[in-house]
Amino acid sequence: MFNRIDELVQAATQNHQSLAELIIQAECEASGQSQRQVWQRMAQNLTAMEAAAAQGAQGVRSATGLTGGEAAKLRAYRAKHQSLSGDLMLSAVQAAMATNEVNAAMGVVCATPTAGSSGTLPGVMMALKQQRHLTRDALIRFLFTAGGIGLIIANQAGIAGATGGCQAEVGSASAMAAAAAVEAAGGTPAQSAQAVAIALSNLLGLVCDPIAGLVEVPCVKRNAIGAGNALIAADLALAGCTSLIPADECIQAMAQVGQAMPASLRETGLGGLAGTPTGQKIRTKIFGQTMGAVSDAEG
């Protein structure tokens, strides 16, 4: 498999192949499976994503009652109003939130790259499916492109909120979606790499501060932001805008920022929004106890 974004782009350019084609080949070599086998596995992932987005759009609620029903509100809003951010953007946000609401309600999702960030990528994908009339094969290629980018980020920096903050989860998911969106829109491998860099840069430093330690608040709406950020990054790259810092260096910067974050801002549910008076009250209501705030100096 590829270890760096620039290696992937160079190979695609030299071989006149798409990122998806290269990643499918690499997956076959790494797994020892045929192209048909790896394709079918990715098709199953696509089916799970589509089902979660559809289920959440009808309205689901978590057992805690902290999240749920807002994707359905967005669906109703889109049907009756002209949105400020445009319907493509809101359709991505709807699918992203719907997926994460299903996750919070203990439903089936596809971790892309994690359960907490499982809405960002399918949000973008479902929006482009509608706008670009993407076939099922095109959607599967979209997922291979995103998966290849995600693997490089995971190997270079990590994708866990507990080690890198939400930048490692939603940030990575947004970069994966941005790269795949560029390719789906006919962009070049180099433009996909630019989209990765822009998307990661925009969410650099994003902390992981789930209320009561649960993957609900602010996680659901952060996936909405991740989806919007991916579309913006993709459009910037397609327009010829570039990141001064290359994608691989952005990934390394994300790793360094994550290491510098205090423990209170890495999925412990102690700092940030979780550490606010309201956040602590919610934790006490759910678990019957409070947790002392962790010093910002703690690593």
DSSP conformational letter for 114:
-
- Chain mean position to CA 274: 21
Domain extent for 120: 5-287
- The rounded percent of the chain whose pLDDT value lies above 70 is 96
77 lies in some domain = yes
Band the pLDDT of 297: cuts 50, 70, 90. Answer: very low
What does the pLDDT read at residue 298?
A: 34
Please state which of the ranges 134-143, 166-175, 225-234, 285-294 shows the lowest mean pLDDT: 285-294
What does the pLDDT read at residue 291?
A: 52
What is the enclosing helix (H) or strand (E) of 286? helix 277-287
Q: Is 163 left (phi over 0), alpha (psi -120 to 50) or beta?
A: alpha
What does the pLDDT read at residue 1?
A: 81
Return the sign of the alpha-carbon dihedral for residues 182, 28, 15, 4.
positive
Indicate the burial class of 195 (C-beta count within 10 angstroms; 0-12, 13-18, 19 or more): buried
The domain tally of the chain equals 1
DSSP SS3 for 61? strand
233 lies in some domain = yes
298 lies in some domain = no
Residue 222 pLDDT exceeds 80:
yes
91 lies in some domain = yes
* CATH number, domain with residue 96: 1.10.4100
180 lies in some domain = yes
Residue-wise pLDDT tens digits, 178-215:
999 999 999 999 999 999 999 999 999 999 999 999 99
296 lies in some domain = no
DSSP SS3 for 208? strand
299 lies in some domain = no
What does the pLDDT read at residue 293?
A: 42
127 lies in some domain = yes
What does the pLDDT read at residue 19?
A: 98
